[in-house]
Structure 1
Amino acid sequence: MTGNQFLSIYAAVLVLTWIWSLFSYRSSRKPPVNPGLLQPEHWAILSGGLPRAALTSFTQLLQKGTIVWNGEQSRYEPKDPEGKDPIVQLLPDNATLQDAIKSLAEAHRPAEEQLENWGLRWNTKEYETQRMIIFLPFVILLGAGVWRVFLGIARDQPFGFVLMLMFVALLFWLHAAKTQPRNTREGRNLLNTFTRDNDHILRATPGSELVLAVALLGDMALEGSEFERLRGALNPASNGGGLADGLVMSCGSSGSGGDGGGSGCGGCGGGD
């Protein structure tokens, strides 16, 4: 095989592997799930992971009036400190807004486990297996490139273009690692169908459906709503950090007990 032939085949396989990695949703092969079983936090997890579910629940607390915004002191406070709302009890005392969101995210781990049991989302072990399946072609490509480089050195032939293609393959690999979907094919299809059936929420968010809009769109749904300032607090970089620094949670509970647990998660807006 000549150098040009190798480069042509390598580039073609690289492009095909990249395209394949973009459509890597795989089936869990479990029975179909009735969409009616899914609550807003389930749709939020499918859309954006545990942080999205936490934001959805937090918005629900605001909309219900369980938590109110104190404009004078720039803080969220409970409307009824003696209330029995289990979600409020999960919020730590005097926590920053980000810490409150993190506590709620951890508390939604059982909902994520439900999605895993229904075959809509991969558990950790299955997810790592799927990642290995996706990454194997990139490993083979990089190995073939290394072999060609050593061959070029041995034969005193140029191999600069091979190194360039290997670098591109490495970038594609890193991107695939970062964007590998956690949802199964069934989860992706169910979410797409639900989103399409509720596209009126995406076009113009009605106040009565704000919680579901946040589940599907994230903090973007808060724009133009009565809780728009919450979006700025969740994204302090967009407003210099001043607002977020002044937001604290005062919920009258003694910690983050309840049915929480599971792994922690990062800041809001991430997916998975």
Structure 2
Amino acid sequence: GKSTLVKAVAGDLVPQAGELRRGAGLAIGYFAQHQLDQLRADETPLQHLRRLAPEAREQQLREFLGQYRFSGEFATSLIGPMSGGEKARCALALIAWKRPNLLLLDEPTNHLDIETREALTVALSSYEGALILVSHDRHLLRATTDQLWLVHDGEVASFDGDLDDYSSLILASRRERSSKNETDGADRRSERKQEAVARQRMASTRKPLQNKLNTIEAELAQISNELRELDVRLADPDFYHSGAPDVVAATLKLRGELARKVDSLESRWLEIQTQLEAVVEGSNKAAA
């Protein structure tokens, strides 16, 4: 649903219902992973950019491409053998050259290395136009967006909260499903006494998993507090103007590390929760 929405705004899809109104002077820059396939494999980044700006001096084009790490001979290397991340950087550079006032980015950090992801985050955080971003990169979302939209069950609605609230919503939803499974199991236990015996046998397996979940949740709460403090600093324009470049870079790096740790912990939480649900399901089957 999210990519479909962005494609409709970009004009690649015709809306099946409703009305799409574009303001006068709107200039859209659209990036999606499928656009990497539209790059010409037998041409170079410099040739691609020259096609957009045939009157520009080569030095000007090279300097611009250098901002996206296409310097020297790399600017004249063929696109075909490049990695997915390098192709993504080239596509983003071509979009940036056009200076759009509305950026539509669909998972822009896929395939990008950490350094390029951080550079993109810094660039977007200072972008003065409008931005619609579809991403699972929590660090990028926290640093560049001021409003969240929830795309779910065929509907789009403004989400009244931040990413931490969204994470809590997802985790709570999973806990609710887990709780419902246990409640259903309790109902079945009243009908089949054997299931109660099976659950007692599985208690020793469930307890360590639950303890791990509790530990992860405590760590997530601590890191979330640290991220909120960093976000306050990074949201202050004076921090970038008055702060030393190495301090800004170190803060962004720390922010990225903590965000990735949150993603890792949440993935681990879901993995353990799945194991716990499997234990419950196995207990139910054994009792049956």
* TM-score w.r.t. length of structure 2: 0.24
* TM-score w.r.t. length of structure 1: 0.25
**Structure having greater relative contact order (Cα 8 Å, sep ≥ 6):** 1
